[in-house]
């Protein structure tokens, strides 16, 4: 599909104002296509699921989409894995989470988010109290600092049941913070936290 196809879909969204789900995973959509889609989201105010995983929207596309979330306040699923999103894009998404308070699923795995972006996302978790699934695996460098801030913020998402943080260079310090957070979590009996340390898989 690429950007050209995404732009055509964006133009057509005004004709489907009741659209509730938009799945565009695996379509080679870049920043230009994501920007046009973002601009058209105002035409589908009832959208509840937006899937743009495995594209190439980058920070530019993520920033435009973040700015458009205010037009789709009922969004519950946001899937943006493997999109070359870095700290800048993650920070803009974090700032915009207040516009989608019913969000229950956020997938930002396999991007290039480091500790700075992870910390901003952690700060924003208070704005999405219904979040039940958070995927941040494969971002390589969230590290102990990012993991510790995420751990501190878990109290704000009492319904969380799944947190994937594998492949993020999280060591003993981050693991310990997450273990403590899980023990105090309202949903601790169901909450699964997945880590991948150098030699073994850990489910906390």
Over residues 40-57, the mean pLDDT reads: 98
Question: So what's the pLDDT on residue 204?
Answer: 60
Over residues 160-181, the mean pLDDT reads: 95
The confidence band for 197, taking pLDDT boundaries of 50, 70 and 90, is very low
139 and 114 Cβ atoms separated by less than 8 Å: yes
Q: Is pLDDT at 181 greater than 60 in this prediction?
A: yes
Over residues 37-59, the mean pLDDT reads: 98
Map residue 3 onto helix, strand or coil: helix
- Average pLDDT of the chain? 95
Where exactly are the structural domains of the chain?
2-203
Residue-wise pLDDT for 108-159, tens only, equals: 999 999 999 999 999 999 999 999 999 999 997 899 999 999 999 999 999 9
In this structure, the number of other CB atoms found within 10 A of the CB of residue 183 comes to 10
CATH 3.40.50.720 fits 2-203, yes or no: no
26 and 54 Cβ atoms separated by less than 8 Å: yes
Q: Is pLDDT at 201 greater than 90 in this prediction?
A: no
């Amino acid at each position: 599909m690429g950007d050209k196809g995404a732009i055509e879909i964006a133009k057509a969204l005004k004709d489907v104002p009741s659209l509730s789900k938009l799945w565009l995973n695996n379509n080679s959509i870049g920043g230009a296509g994501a920007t046009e889609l973002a601009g058209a989201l105002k035409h589908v105010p009832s959208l509840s699921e937006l899937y743009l995983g495995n594209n190439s929207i980058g920070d530019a596309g993520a920033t435009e989409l973040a700015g458009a979330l205010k037009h789709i306040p009922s969004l519950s699923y946001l899937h943006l894995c493997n999109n070359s999103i870095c700290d800048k894009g993650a920070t803009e998404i974090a700032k915009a989470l207040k516009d989608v308070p019913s969000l229950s699923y956020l997938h930002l795995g396999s991007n290039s988010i480091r500790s700075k972006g992870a910390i901003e996302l952690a700060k924003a978790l208070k704005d999405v109290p219904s979040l039940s699934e958070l995927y941040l695996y494969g971002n390589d460098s969230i590290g102990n600092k990012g993991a510790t801030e995420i751990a501190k913020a878990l109290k704000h998402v009492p319904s969380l049941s799944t947190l994937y943080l594998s492949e993020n260079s999280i060591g003993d310090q981050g693991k310990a913070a997450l273990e403590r957070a899980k023990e105090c979590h309202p949903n601790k009996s169901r909450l699964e936290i997945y880590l991948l340390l150098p030699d073994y898989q850990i489910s906390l």
